[in-house]
Structure 1
């Protein structure tokens, strides 16, 4: 006897393929395989063969789906070598597009064959992370179609509860930085932006949907199946620090719920990769006082457990650090104290201090005691303005999610 619901699976399978197929051009000639530069001669025939398999039978099945899957693997493997042959800024956009096509064909092969969807979603994420946009950002549109068909992530009530309780937890100790509630643009510009003084702003993100919606449980539901880069270790200056690709759900299980060790989701592309999250935030109005356009603002996500640390460092742009849930202890040092903060001599870490701020070795770094600092505990709903080149040290006091905006 067939299992309950088994008869409905083929119809659901066909409906999903129809929904996926609608994302693509109607005919083979419409999928142009346009690249923005030159690639090796062997690549274009592989792309065309994959395209032919996709369109020849209406829906690749059996051997056709397996062949399309293999071609996706070959295209990704071949372009991966090009993506890792030198500095990222020197990687040709054309090779990133080839990688994206490899991810696309691989994901489509998974769906066409009726295979479990997590691998298809992972391929989409890899293409979004490492590839370049193709076919009007088809990978982002494809993952939006696939995600509702995945099994719903289990609720993590304990972790969600810890995040919710963090919202109402009172701040211990004094707050030394000045606080302003919804200052005018002119007041902020004249008293903080122009003189480059840090300040905590209140009331400016209360209207963001994320302030009511976001929690650990919410991220499991919205992004649990999505593959992202995760930083492993308490701080990036530690020798054992590393990076690894994993799903948001695995990250939450290992580092938020089970607390096996310290890991941090520090993502510069998260809001482009998962637009549902970007819809829940806004850009602070004060960014309009900068010289660049809105598209020039870099939005970063910072999600991690209690105890994760950003060592004392400085950034090359102005920074608004918005706290969504959880609390963070933050220390700020003026750029005028740079010599007393002992920056690393290596070019890679020249913007990072050698000093462990909360346990300094004053025999090794004697002038550190001369450096004056301001501090605060950044609470949910507060936004810290960190002027360009201002040194800052950050330690999470709870499960915490922050959004930062770098602008000029």
Structure 2
């Protein structure tokens, strides 16, 4: 009888042969042919045989002696597929990377994670493999990695689900500190639940920023989300974190770590500065996406809903987004914490001294709250509007509008970029 790690012969390990493996196996196609290994393009000739061999191990076609040996062989094939495709993913600009190679990387992560579960090994490495595939790969088998990691996460011990932050997250300081003064003549207008027509005619078409109130009161995140909640829901999940106060600093860098480690090192510890800022978080962790809604006003745009980019911004007090502009309309929704925000019209671009380098051409050289007026004398000519964005408020930032953001507290915001 052919040995495998699949349905016919459950792999070694008490959990793999029981409820967990049954849940995991239910996520996969019922037959070997059903796991199609479809790729959206060409890859090196050696890759497809490796994929088919790994699939054979899952469904019993390899004939290896014993399930433990099959799981070990599957783990090695996952390593090979990930290592080989990783070189391709880092061979040039991301936009030029073939989707097919990203899919190969996803399959490598899938087979590796399945091998960990089949062998009855600790689940944290399998969860990390799923997250790496979700971050760097491309969806295969109806986004099987997102479904797999959700199952695995439920079987982790509670302390592992919460991550390293543990109970410390419950003691994060919540009392507000003094905020910068916003002069009445500089304050952004506020509007409560305007009609689509009123928003379109008075703000979208003339491209005027405005703070909207009341439009996110019904979102589940407004009653559910907190630092401790993120420990519970995503503490064990691996995400990219930006290290440093602002992305223009020389010491700024990026690092992959679990949400629990991020909270422990950069939220609980007020002496360190790191920021979780990424557009994949809600696809990677669908539980969070279920707690938010795309603002109705986005229907006034030209693109389809699937083209709206949803970004997460989670960080400690003092995190700064330097004065910059974005190529799309933006709704910035504040879930918890406060942010001080300044806006400058695109008409003032020359007075804002954008960086000359191509990579930072959309970012000003000026430190907005402590400008060097000797070096940047025309900055004093630039008029601005400002606000303290409070929980439950949504700021409309028109396309190409310059904006500077500083977190006044531990803060979580969600931005929607739309055309």
Query: Which TM-score tier does this pair reach, normalised by the shorter chain?
Result: over 0.9
**Coordinate RMSD, CA, aligned:** 1.9
- The yes-or-no answer on 1:204 pairing with 2:215 is yes
Give the deviation of 1:60 after TM superposition.
7.5
Contact conserved, 1:53 with 1:60, CA < 8 A, in 2? no
State the secondary structure of the residue aligned to 2:358: coil
Q: Which residue of 2 aligns with 1:93?
A: 99
Q: CA deviation at 1:389?
A: 0.5
CA contact 1:164–1:215 (8 Å) conserved in 2: no
Matched, 1:407 2:415: no
1:173 to 2:150 alignment = no
Q: Does 1:353 align with 2:364?
A: yes
Stretch of structure 1 that moved more, 283-292 or 61-70 = 61-70
Contiguous gaps of at least 5 residues in structure 2: 1-12
The one of 213, 218, 235 aligned to 2:246: 235
1:317 counterpart = 2:328: yes
> Partner of 1:127 in structure 2?
133
Task: Please identify runs of 4+ aligned residues in structure 1 that moved more than 6 A.
Answer: 57-60, 169-172
For residue 13 of structure 1, report the CA deviation from its aligned partner: 5.6
Between 54-63 and 334-343, the greater mean CA deviation after superposition: 54-63
- Matched residues in 2 for 1:382 and 1:330: separation? 13
SS of the equivalent of 1:186 reads: helix
What residue in structure 2 maps to residue 384 of structure 1? Answer: 395
- 2:89 paired residue among 78, 83, 106: 83
1:74 offset after TM fit, Å? Answer: 0.5
Is residue 279 of structure 2 the alignment partner of residue 273 of structure 1? no
TM-score by length of 2: 0.91
Q: Within 2, Cα distance between the matches of 1:283 and 1:235?
A: 27
Q: Which residue of 2 aligns with 1:102?
A: 108
Identify the residue that residue 46 of structure 1 maps to in structure 2: 50
When residues 157 and 115 of structure 1 are mapped into structure 2, their CA distance, relative to the original with a 3 A threshold, is: closer
Structure 2: how far apart are the matches of 1:276 and 1:80? 28
In 2: Cα distance, 1:202 partner to 1:29 partner: 53
- SS of alignment partner, residue 158 of structure 2: coil
TM-score normalised over the length of structure 1: 0.94
Q: Distance in 1 between matches of 2:168 and 2:84?
A: 44
Deviation at 1:261, TM superposition (A): 1.4
SS of equivalent to 1:17: helix
Q: What is the Cα deviation at residue 47 of structure 1?
A: 0.8
Q: Do 1:156 and 1:216's aligned partners in 2 also have CA atoms closer than 8 Å? A: no
What's 1:26 paired with?
Answer: 30
Structure 1 stretches lacking a partner, 5+ long: 1-8
8 Å CA contact 2:236–2:258 kept in 1: the answer is yes
SS in 2 for 1:393: strand
Change (3 A) 1:45 1:319: same
Structure 1: distance between partners of 2:67 and 2:119: 6
- Mapped contact 1:160–1:215 kept (Cα < 8 A): no
Aligned equivalent of 1:3: none
In 2 relative to 1, CA 329–138 (structure 1 residues): closer, same or farther, beyond 3 Å? same
Q: Distance in 2 between matches of 1:13 and 1:398?
A: 47
Determine helix, strand or coil for the equivalent of 2:121. Answer: coil
Q: Structure 1 CA distance, aligned partners of 2:92 and 2:353? A: 30
The correspondence of residues 278-293 of structure 1 with structure 2, limited to 5 A, is 278-293=289-304
Contact in 2 for aligned 1:306/1:398 (Cα 8 Å): yes
Distance 1:366 1:13, change over 3 A: farther
Measured after TM superposition, the shift of residue 259 of structure 1 is: 2.9
How far apart are residue 64 of structure 1 and its match? 1.6
Indicate conservation of the 8 Å contact 2:169/2:264, yes or no: no
Q: Give 1:162 shift.
A: 4.0
Pairs aligned (count)? 398
